[in-house]
Structure 1
Amino acid sequence: MGRIEESIEIDAPIGTVYREWTDTESLPACMRGGAGRGATATEVLPPDRIAWSGGPELPGHSGVVTFHRVTDHSTRLMLQLDTEPHGLWDHLVEGLGFTDRKVIDELAAFKARVEDHRHHQAA
C-alpha cells in the first residue's frame, strides 16, 4: 500500500476552500475518479475534515483532507491518500512516483482555480 501526503497553502478563507473542495467541478481529478467509482464519505466535519473510503470498486483506497486556518484569508489544505496498486501497471506508476507528481500538480491546479475564482469575485 502506498501513502501520499501533501499540503498546500491557498490564499482564500477556510470556508471558501472547503466549499470549492466539495464542489465536484473544482475537485482535483485524482479525487473525482474515486467519487465517480463508488467512494463513500466516512467522515464529514465542515469546514475542517473530509475522509473517504474507496468502496467495493477501489478496495485499499482511502483518504482524508483537512483544512487549517492560517489567517482569516489563507488556508492550509492537507491531503493524505492511501492507495493499493492493482496490477503491474499500477505498481510501476506508483513506484516511479507518477502518482505523487499527479497529486502535487492537481493540488497546485486546485489552488490556482480557488485563488483565481476568489480574485474574480472580488473584482
Structure 2
Amino acid sequence: MGRIEESVEIDAPIEVVYRAWTERESLPACMRGGADRGAAATEVVALDRIAWTGGADGQSGVVTFHRTGEAGELGTRVMLQLDTEPHGLWDHLVEGLGFTDRHVIDELAAFKAYVEENRPGLAA
C-alpha cells in the first residue's frame, strides 16, 4: 500500500474551499475517480474533514480543511492523505516512479486555481 500526503494553500475562505471540494465538477480528478468506482464517505464533518474508503481501486483517504492567516485574511490549507493499493506490475511501477504523487500534486494545484479564479458559491 502506498501513502501520499500533500497539501495546498488556497486564497479563499474555508467555506468556499469546502463547498468546491464537495461539488463533483470541481473535485480534483484523482478524487472523482474513486467516487466513480464505488468509494464511500466514512466520515464527513462540515468545514473540517471528509474521509472515504473502498472502491474498485482500493483507494481510501482523508482530506482536512484548515483556516490560515490572521484575523481578516481569508485562506485555507487543504491537507490530503491518500492511501492507494497498487494492483499488478504497471501500478507498482507507476507508484514507484512517483507518477501517482505527481498526479495528486498537479490535481491539487488545478483545484487551487479553480477555486481562486471562480470562487464557487460566492455572489459576484
The TM-score with structure 2 as length reference comes to 0.92
Match status 1:14 vs 2:14: yes
Match of 1:105?
A: 106
Residue equivalent to 1:65: 63
The alignment-based identity, stated in percent, is: 77
**Structure 1 length as normaliser, TM-score?**
0.92
CA–CA distance in structure 1, aligned partners of residues 89 and 28 of structure 2:
25
* Offset from partner CA, 1:32-65 (integer Å, 9 cap, x none): 000011000000000100000023x233x21000
Q: Give me the whole-angstrom Cα distance separating, in 2, the residues matched to 1:34 and 1:50.
A: 14
Q: Equivalences for 1:76-87 in 2 at 5 Å?
A: 76-87=77-88
Give yes or no for the alignment of 1:43 onto 2:55.
Answer: no
SS of the residue aligned with 1:102?
Answer: helix
Matched residues in 2 for 1:43 and 1:10: separation?
23
Structure 2: stretches of 5+ with no match in the other structure? none
The reply on whether 1:116 has 2:117 as its aligned counterpart is yes
1:74-112, Cα deviation, whole Å (9 max, x unpaired):
000000000010011100000000000000000000000
* 1:118 shift after superposition: 2.2
How many angstroms does 1:122 deviate by?
6.9
Give the match's secondary structure for 1:76.
strand
